[in-house]
């Protein structure tokens, strides 16, 4: 197994990048219907995709790619928020003090940012948003970086920068615990943001290190700030707390900055071309299947082309495809024709998404109500990327 050496600073930033990636995307997840949804009632599609301001259900908006500029549309493809960003993701909701907020990650020319339903971009688009702390509270602050890759602090409540100057260095170990420590290369100690004083204050902190602590059956990493006098403070929940180190922690702090981390890549199980691909799927115990005209799905081949029939031999998918592969849940199938890909959702009255894309993968499940989910797929055409709904609507314009 090949090993990768990572410094503690880099190791500390990884959780931030992962969190931001989560914040930025549920990108590429292979999501399928584990429980087949009922067919949409007549006219329901337009009923739950409002386009009038004030009635927008942000959780049902879909990122729309208009020739490389991204905004959002409803499920019918009607533009709700005009495309102007370099990238846009799906909205998610957070609840703070019993109030619901809707946010979506975007990319501007300044870098990563957050679009809020209440007031648009969280920080000016000339900055890149790296970390947001209590963004919906009066004391909310954001770590930002300018185009010169220098760090500053932005207060969302006043919509202004807290720091008068930008700094060269940030302690990622500390900021992952909501303690903001910044300094310039020429500085020997860090400046720290004080929520009480609402400004940066001087400290005697010279370094922050992450160490491994085990107490009984529990073990975790903590970040320790080292002061000029040799004492330590634990950084946690936005605060510094005096911390007495033991012999084990002392030995870790004396070690070279870094650790060896084993890296293993797990091969994804590919169903295409595998002898394990099922050819008959039995849904006889699923009462929903009969509504869609089958109790069994049988994959067959005629005149060199693939198709799907039900238990009575009635055609569910015509014999026109080069290859058909049932998905892991067996409620959908990937379709291949002339080098292009499409999708069929069996528990749906929507038509087939015909093979015309270089790739198509499940990406998002939008919950309409307790009995109905709406699937969204990510597709590629050449170098372009966009989304397609299970209703076949394309949320992009590439022409």
- For residues 123 and 301, what is the distance between their CA atoms, to the nearest angstrom? 56
Provide the token pair at 114.
Answer: 């957050």
- Give the residue with greater pLDDT, 148 vs 5: 148
CB neighbours of residue 157 within 10 Å: 14
- For residues 255 and 6, what is the distance between their CA atoms, to the nearest angstrom? 14
Among 42, 43, 61, 41, which Cα is nearest to 51's?
Answer: 61
pTM: 0.77
Q: What pLDDT is recorded for position 240? A: 94
Residue 277 binned pLDDT confidence (cut-offs 50, 70, 90)? low
Report the pLDDT averaged over residues 47-74: 80
Name the percent of the chain in helix, strand, coil, to the closest 5: 10, 45, 45
CB neighbours of residue 41 within 10 Å: 9
Give the model confidence (pLDDT) of 308-317 as tens digits: 999 999 999 9
Backbone angles phi, psi at 218, to 5 degrees: -105, 140
16-19: which pairs have CB atoms within 8 A and are 24 or more residues apart? 16/130, 16/131, 16/172, 16/175, 16/176
Give the model confidence (pLDDT) of 239-268 as tens digits: 999 999 888 888 888 774 443 222 222 222
Output the CA torsion sign for 23, 29, 33, 34.
negative
Among 111, 106, 104, 158, which Cα is nearest to 130's?
Answer: 111
| Runs of H (alpha helix) within the chain | 8-24, 44-47, 172-175, 247-254
Provide the token pair at 331.
Answer: 């409620």
Give the model confidence (pLDDT) of 154-172 as tens digits: 988 888 888 877 899 999 9
Among 174, 178, 203, 207, which Cα is nearest to 191's?
Answer: 203
Backbone angles phi, psi at 301, to 5 degrees: -130, 130
Place of tokens 């509270």: 137
- For residues 308 and 275, what is the distance between their CA atoms, to the nearest angstrom? 18
10: pLDDT strictly greater than 80: no
Q: What percent of the chain has pLDDT over 90?
A: 57
Among 122, 241, 226, which Cα is nearest to 177's?
Answer: 241
Buried (b) or exposed (e) across 118-148, using 16+ Cβ within 10 A? eeebbbbbebbbbbbbbbbeeebbbbbbbee
Report the pLDDT averaged over residues 199-217: 89
- For residues 124 and 113, what is the distance between their CA atoms, to the nearest angstrom? 9
- For residues 312 and 298, what is the distance between their CA atoms, to the nearest angstrom? 10
Provide the token pair at 214.
Answer: 């085990």
82: pLDDT strictly greater than 90: yes
Report the pLDDT averaged over residues 173-182: 93
- For residues 298 and 308, what is the distance between their CA atoms, to the nearest angstrom? 5
Give the model confidence (pLDDT) of 94-117 as tens digits: 998 888 999 999 999 999 999 999
- For residues 249 and 226, what is the distance between their CA atoms, to the nearest angstrom? 13
Q: Mean pLDDT over all residues of the chain? A: 82
Q: What pLDDT is recorded for position 113? A: 96
Output the CA torsion sign for 132, 135, 137, 141.
positive
Provide the token pair at 30.
Answer: 């292979």
Report the pLDDT averaged over residues 362-376: 90
- For residues 230 and 159, what is the distance between their CA atoms, to the nearest angstrom? 38
Among 175, 149, 144, which Cα is nearest to 161's?
Answer: 144
């Amino acid at each position: 197994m090949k090993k990768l050496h990572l410094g503690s600073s880099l190791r500390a930033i990884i959780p931030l990048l992962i969190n931001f990636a989560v914040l930025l995307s549920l990108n590429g997840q292979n999501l399928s219907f584990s429980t087949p949804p009922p067919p949409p009632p007549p006219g329901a599609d337009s009923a739950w995709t409002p386009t009038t301001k004030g009635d927008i259900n942000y959780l049902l908006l879909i990122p729309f790619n208009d020739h490389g500029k991204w905004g959002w549309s409803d499920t019918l493809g009607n533009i709700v928020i005009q495309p102007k960003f370099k990238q846009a993701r799906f909205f998610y909701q957070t609840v703070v003090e019993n109030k619901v907020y809707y946010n979506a990650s975007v990319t501007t020319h300044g870098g990563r940012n957050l679009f809020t339903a209440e007031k648009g971009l969280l920080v000016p688009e000339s900055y890149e948003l790296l970390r947001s702390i209590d963004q919906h509270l009066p004391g909310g602050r954001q770590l930002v970086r300018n185009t010169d890759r220098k760090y500053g602090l932005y207060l969302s409540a006043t919509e202004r920068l807290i720091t008068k100057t930008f700094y060269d260095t940030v302690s990622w170990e500390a900021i992952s615990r909501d303690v903001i420590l910044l300094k310039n290369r020429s500085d020997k100690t860090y400046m720290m943001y004080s929520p009480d004083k609402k400004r940066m204050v001087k400290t005697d902190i010279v370094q922050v290190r992450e160490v491994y602590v085990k107490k009984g059956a529990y073990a975790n990493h903590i970040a320790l700030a080292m002061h000029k006098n040799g004492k330590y403070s634990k950084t946690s929940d936005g605060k510094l707390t005096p911390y007495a180190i033991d012999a084990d922690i002392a030995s870790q702090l004396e070690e070279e900055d870094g650790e060896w981390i084993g890296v293993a890549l797990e091969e994804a199980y590919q169903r295409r071309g595998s002898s394990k691909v099922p050819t008959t799927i039995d849904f006889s115990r699923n009462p929903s299947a009969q509504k869609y005209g089958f109790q069994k799905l049988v994959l067959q081949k005629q005149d060199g082309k693939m198709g799907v029939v039900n238990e009575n031999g009635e055609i569910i998918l015509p014999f026109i495809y080069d290859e058909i592969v049932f998905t892991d849940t067996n409620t959908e199938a990937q379709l291949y024709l002339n080098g292009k890909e499409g999708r069929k959702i069996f528990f749906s009255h929507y038509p087939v998404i015909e093979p015309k894309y270089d790739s198509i993968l499940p990406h998002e499940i939008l919950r309409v109500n307790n009995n109905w989910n709406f699937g969204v797929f990510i597709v590629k055409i050449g170098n372009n990327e966009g989304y397609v709904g299970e209703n076949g609507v394309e949320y992009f314009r590439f022409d």
